[in-house]
Amino acid sequence: MVKTQIRFGILGCAKVGRKMCRALELAPNTTLYAIGSRSIETASRFSSENFLPSSVKLYGSYEAVLDDPEVDAVYMPLPASLHLKWAVLAAEKKKHVLLEKPGASNVSELEKILDACESNGVQFMDATMFMHHPRTLKMEEFLDGERFGRLQYVFSSFSYKASPEFLESDIRMKPDLTAQGAVGDLGWYCIRAILWANNYQLPKTVVANRNPSLNKSGVILSCGSSFYWEDGRVANFYCSYLTDITMDITALGSNGSIRLHDFVVPFQENEAQYFQACNSKFINLSTGCEPARSGELVRADLPQEALMVQEFANLVANKADGLKVGKKWADICRKTQVIVDAVYNSIVRGFEPVEIMS
**Which residues here bind a copy of itself, judged by CB under 8 A?**
15-16, 18-19, 22, 149, 152-153, 155, 157, 159-161, 205, 207, 209-211, 213, 222, 224, 226, 228-229, 232-234, 236, 238, 240, 242-246, 248, 250, 252-257, 259, 261-262, 265-269, 275, 277-282, 285-289, 292-293, 303
Give the span between the Cα atoms of 258 and 250, in whole angstroms.
6
Nearer to a copy of itself, 66 or 102 (CB): 102
Nearer to a copy of itself, 178 or 257 (CB): 257
Helical H runs in 7-163? Answer: 16-26, 40-49, 62-67, 80-92, 107-119, 134-144
- In whole angstroms, the minimum distance from the beta carbon of 271 to a copy of itself comes to 12
Give the span between the Cα atoms of 296 and 280, in whole angstroms.
16
Quick check: helix, strand or coil at residue 35? strand
DSSP 184-232: TTHHHHHHHHHHHHTTTPPPSEEEE-S--EE-TT--EEEEEEEEE-TTS
Nearer to a copy of itself, 231 or 331 (CB): 231
- In whole angstroms, the minimum distance from the beta carbon of 159 to a copy of itself comes to 6
Nearer to a copy of itself, 216 or 324 (CB): 216
- In whole angstroms, the minimum distance from the beta carbon of 72 to a copy of itself comes to 24
Give the span between the Cα atoms of 12 and 97, in whole angstroms.
14
Which amino acid, one-letter code, is at 232?
G
* CB of 258 closer than 8 Å to CB of 249: yes
Q: Which of 101, 204, 319, 327 is catalytic?
A: 101
- In whole angstroms, the minimum distance from the beta carbon of 149 to a copy of itself comes to 8
Question: Could you confirm whether 161 is annotated as catalytic?
Answer: no
Which residues are catalytically annotated? 101
